[in-house]
Structure 1
Amino acid sequence: MMATKQLNPFTRAVLMAKHAWAVFRAKETPRYVKLILALGLAYIVSPWDLVPEWLPVIGVLDDFALAALLISWAGGFKINSSH
């Protein structure tokens, strides 16, 4: 990513999410990585949670934490930029 310029947290999160999407779509990404990313996204958008959404703060925090973990994990995968 851009190592020469300090990015604000929102811009950095957006760039990381775009990279995670690119990792998911890349042909060279192993199937198990795509499966884990897809299952994680399905859990995040699913109405069934380990921690219910109606609990203040922690109900939503588990979804955000999983999203951050998946996006960070996908950031470790290198893909070809020549799409």
Structure 2
Amino acid sequence: NPALILLDEPSEGIAPVIVEQMAHAILQLKHDGLTVLLSEQNLHFAQAVSDGVVIIEHGTQQFVGSLADLQAHPDIRDQHLSI
């Protein structure tokens, strides 16, 4: 019975309908008490399943906070998460 699952870019190259199903599955795992550590570049997907945000750039933490904290700092979001 694992306590943690690590997902590295699970949405990359996946059809949007499957990504949506994956989000529902991750939310169910969280509801069941499993901790999910997600490394993801798809911000929309990450926001749908995340409780918190850590932005790491070149091995250094650039931001730690809640989704609301990130939304309150568009400069940080735009600097680190935009194309």
Structure with the bigger percentage of helix: 1
Q: Same fold (TM over 0.5)?
A: no
> Which gives a bigger RCO, structure 1 or 2 (Cα 8 Å, sep 6+)?
1
Give me the TM-score of the superposition, normalised by structure 2.
Answer: 0.32
